[in-house]
């Protein structure tokens, strides 16, 4: 039996998911809402926004969806999975109650504390003056985080108290992240290399994906402001076997059990962002969905049927599916609009995508077709991904292919995966 599948989202992550789902013999037809230029080539795009919950429910009925895959976190936090489930649809993604692990950093901290999962010490405030007073009382400069969802940009790594107070003002007074900034966390600053630890789960069974690493800063050598991610690589060979085992069993599997025990069974993809500090591994945050751009380097390593896995999660039978991964390394480089993450121009023609190697993926994020021409439509425009037997080979191939693509103002980092290719353990300050 084949399936009609509805995928929600419009970024590079969703293009990567669509690319894998489209390879499945179980697929009858794929619809993506709202989709992008990449998903349009793999199925049918429908102009329904991910936060239009009633519109999505109506679309699922219209196309007789057998499975709905939710890409971004915002609709999950808004309860779209619950709404679709009430209508009788099978959904890959967590309920609103389970998605709170990402939607509220305070909830996640409390859950980790109860489960004994190591993380940075933090206090939550709904009053800006109280947050400032607490920050001034600390012995070292803290990190300031918006409690709610802020598109991956709600974290300010401060160098001094002036930056701390400015961050609190931006989040709580100016509300640059809207209601996500109604509360802030004042958290101890940790330092060390980071990794993303994705896993599939149906609430009981946990199937781990390969580890990956995201590069958040806009410029080489981790300089400049945070972005939604400028590239990623997989795997991080600097992570030891014991460290990998700790993350899998003592963090991911432990939190899934804690969610079950709390009456919030978790189904979908869950991943902790981890930091290897001098004091050991610590959770930076939990996420309730595939990461972006990590998805773009993890899914090319998947050798099993993604649609079969998603369907098994939705039917609570993940234990029945065998999931295999390639040993190859993968590197993804984001090509961004000039000026990103600040203001940038859109509608800029893109050329050269058709010139990349056949086995190199170009995942569309901020790109659309306009009168037949591929043009930019967002800050992060493309994610170019190449694989190789070694990290060095994957890097050489991806940058060779990035060089074939051009658009006015294009910006990309030249050091994605460089340390891993050289066998160097990355060090990032937070």
How far apart CA 430 and CA 29 sit, in angstroms, is 44
237 backbone dihedrals φ, ψ, rounded to 5°: -70, -15
Pairing state between β 67-70 and 3-9: parallel
Pairing state between β 280-287 and 380-388: unpaired
293 and 360 fall within a common domain: yes
44 and 137 fall within a common domain: no
Both structure tokens of 155: 């974290």
pLDDT at 424: 77
Which CATH number belongs to the domain containing residue 71 in this structure? 3.40.50.20
Domain count, the chain: 3
Q: Give the tens place of pLDDT for each residue, 334-354.
A: 999 999 999 999 999 999 999
Residue 89, domain extent = 3-95
155 and 227 fall within a common domain: no
364 and 291 fall within a common domain: yes
Within a domain: 83? yes
Mean of the per-residue pLDDT values for the chain?
A: 94
Within a domain: 101? no
How far apart CA 183 and CA 122 sit, in angstroms, is 12
Give the pTM. 0.94
Q: Are 117 and 255 in contact (CB under 8 A)?
A: yes
Residue with tokens 């991610």: 229
End-to-end CA distance of the chain: 49
Q: How confident is the model at residue 427 (pLDDT cuts 50, 70, 90)?
A: low
pLDDT at 429: 37
176 and 199 fall within a common domain: no
pLDDT at 414: 98
pLDDT at 393: 98
Cα dist from 278 to 112, 190, 241, 281, 420, whole Å: 20, 9, 17, 8, 20
Domain boundary among 164, 187, 210: 187
pLDDT-above-90 percentage for the chain:
81
Q: Are 408 and 341 in contact (CB under 8 A)?
A: no
Higher pLDDT, 173 or 273: 273
What strand order describes the sheet that includes 380-388? 213-214, 231-234, 329-336, 380-388, 361-364
How far apart CA 244 and CA 266 sit, in angstroms, is 22
pLDDT at 156: 83
Query: Average pLDDT of 29-39?
Result: 97
Domain boundary among 157, 187, 217: 187
203 and 317 fall within a common domain: yes
342 and 378 fall within a common domain: yes
Within a domain: 117? no
> 401, 357, 359: which is closest to 382 by C-alpha?
401
Within a domain: 411? yes
168 and 256 fall within a common domain: no
Least confident of 167-176, 233-242, 254-263: 167-176
Q: How confident is the model at residue 430 (pLDDT cuts 50, 70, 90)?
A: very low
Domain boundary among 60, 95, 130: 95
How far apart CA 252 and CA 256 sit, in angstroms, is 6
pLDDT at 426: 65
């Amino acid at each position: 039996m084949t399936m009609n599948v509805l995928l929600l989202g419009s970024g590079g992550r969703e293009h990567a998911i669509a690319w894998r789902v489209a390879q499945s013999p179980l697929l009858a037809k794929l619809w993506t809402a709202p989709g992008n230029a990449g998903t349009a080539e793999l199925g049918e795009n429908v102009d329904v926004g991910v936060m239009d919950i009633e519109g999505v429910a109506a679309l699922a009925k219209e196309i007789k969806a057998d499975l709905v895959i939710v890409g971004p976190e915002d609709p999950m936090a808004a309860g779209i999975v619950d709404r679709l489930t009430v209508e009788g649809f099978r959904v890959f993604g967590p309920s609103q109650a389970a998605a709170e692990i990402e939607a509220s950093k305070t909830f996640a901290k409390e859950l980790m504390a109860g489960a004994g999962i190591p993380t940075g010490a933090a206090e939550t405030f709904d009053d800006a003056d109280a947050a400032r007073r607490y920050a001034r009382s600390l012995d070292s400069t803290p990190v300031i985080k918006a409690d709610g969802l802020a598109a991956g940009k709600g974290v300010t790594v401060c160098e001094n108290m002036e930056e701390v107070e400015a961050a609190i003002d931006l989040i709580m007074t100016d509300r640059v992240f809207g209601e996500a900034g109604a509360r802030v966390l004042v958290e101890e600053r940790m330092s060390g290399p980071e990794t993303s630890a994705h896993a599939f789960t149906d609430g009981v069974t946990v199937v781990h994906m390969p580890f990956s690493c995201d590069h958040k800063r806009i410029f080489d050598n981790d300089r400049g402001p945070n972005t939604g991610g400028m590239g990623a690589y997989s795997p991080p060979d600097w992570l030891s076997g014991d460290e990998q085992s700790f993350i899998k069993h003592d963090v991911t599997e432990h939190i899934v059990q804690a969610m079950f025990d709390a009456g919030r069974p978790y189904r979908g993809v869950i991943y902790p962002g981890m930091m290897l500090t001098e004091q050991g591994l610590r959770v930076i945050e939990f996420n309730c969905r595939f990461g972006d751009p990590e998805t773009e380097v993890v899914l090319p390593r998947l050798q099993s049927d993604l649609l079969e896995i998603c369907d098994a999660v939705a039917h609570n039978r993940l234990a029945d599916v065998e999931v295999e991964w390639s040993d190859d390394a993968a590197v993804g480089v984001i090509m961004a609009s000039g000026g990103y993450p600040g203001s940038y121009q859109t509608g800029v023609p893109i050329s050269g995508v058709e010139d990349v190697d056949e086995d190199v993926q170009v995942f569309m994020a901020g790109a659309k077709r306009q009168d037949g021409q591929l043009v930019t439509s967002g800050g992060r425009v493309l994610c170019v991904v190449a694989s190789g037997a070694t990290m060095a080979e994957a890097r050489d191939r991806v940058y060779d292919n990035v060089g074939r693509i051009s658009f006015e103002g294009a910006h990309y980092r030249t050091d994605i995966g460089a340390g891993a290719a050289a066998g160097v353990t990355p060090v990032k300050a937070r």
